[in-house]
Amino acid sequence: MLNLASKIALVTGAGSGIGQAIARLFAQQGAFVWVADIDARAGRETVASIGGPGGQAEYVELDVSDPAATLACADRLTPLDILVNNAGIGHVGNLLLTTAADLDRLHAVNVRGPFNLCKAFVPAMLERRRGSVINLASIGGVLAVRDRLAYTMTKHAVVGLTKALALDHSQTGVRFNAICPGRVETPFVQARIAEYPDPEKAYRDMASTQLNGRMAKPDEIAAAALYLAADESAMVTGSNLVIDGGWSAGK
């Protein structure tokens, strides 16, 4: 069993979905988890749901797109052993349906967010010569997703950021990896599916891009994050862990 005892983690976007699943699992495995989210109610609900032996967590309000806020957060919470850059937003649209403002909005959270957090927290990791940074990218970071122009652009940037960090700091003991999920059955996705006239058909259509015919569960992504956070993955850096039910096979 992978163990995070005595480790301190920060998970952004931990108020729901993948981030919440990661925060819960890390706490279950012994880590103290800072639950970061811009939504205070959601973040505190995640903290309240964390319990059991060794389960410890505290909420911190954070807008990842604000560099001053991330630096202030680092002043309070450093040092960290694990940084999970999970917070992200999406947009539906091709070139004709995507404005510059849409792209700027996604870039501020999906790209500048991880950059801001790394600028704030990684220097202390480098000084201590240990740490694991996990960036949540997407299948849209390794291939194009139809009608997701801005999202695909930003998630490709997250993969590039991860590789550049791993290369530049390869001799420091600090590791940088990305997780690239396909479609995941988060509460947000479930709510969107429920809006369709035929939710069952909508689910099948969305899941059909994944060769195993279903979406991933948030807990399945969290399990991958646990591996990358744990000492057992000490040889893994600069990697993109694709969890897509076969979506990218052969592409």
Catalytic residue (choose from 151, 196, 203, 227): 151
Rounded distance between C-alpha atoms, residue 123 and residue 74, angstroms: 10
Q: Using the structure block, give the residue that is written with the tokens 């194009």.
A: 144
- Mind listing the pLDDT tens digit for each residue in 206-219? 888 899 999 999 99
Choice among 97-111, 152-166, 178-192 with the minimum mean pLDDT: 178-192
| Higher pLDDT pick, 154 / 2 | 154
- Per-domain boundaries in the chain: 8-181+217-237, 185-215
Give the pLDDT confidence score for residue 192 in this predicted structure. 83
Residue 148 pLDDT > 80, yes or no? Answer: yes
Task: Report percent pLDDT > 90 for the chain.
Answer: 86
Which pLDDT band holds residue 128 (cuts at 50, 70, 90)? very high
Could you tell me which CATH class the domain 8-181+217-237 is placed in?
alpha beta
In tens, the pLDDT along 24-74 reads: 999 999 999 999 999 999 999 999 999 765 679 999 999 999 999 999 999
What phi-psi label fits residue 153: left (phi over 0), alpha (psi between -120 and 50 degrees) or beta?
A: alpha
Listing DSSP states for 110-170 in one string gives IIHHHHHHHHHHHHHHHHHT-EEEEEE--GGGTS--TTBHHHHHHHHHHHHHHHHHHHHTT
> For this structure, is 227 an active site residue?
no
Residue whose tokens read 């479930």: 190
Task: Decide: 174 and 162 in contact? Cβ < 8 Å.
Answer: no
Q: Which two tokens stand for residue 237?
A: 């850096």
pLDDT at 53: 58
For residue 85, give the DSSP letter.
Answer: E
Please report which helix (H) or strand (E) contains residue 102, including its range: helix 100-106
Instruction: Report how many helices (DSSP H) and strands (DSSP E) the chain contains, helices first.
Output: 9, 7
pLDDT at residue 189, as a whole number: 86
Q: List the single range of 44-48, 151-155, 195-199, 220-224 with lowest mean pLDDT.
A: 195-199
pTM of the model: 0.95
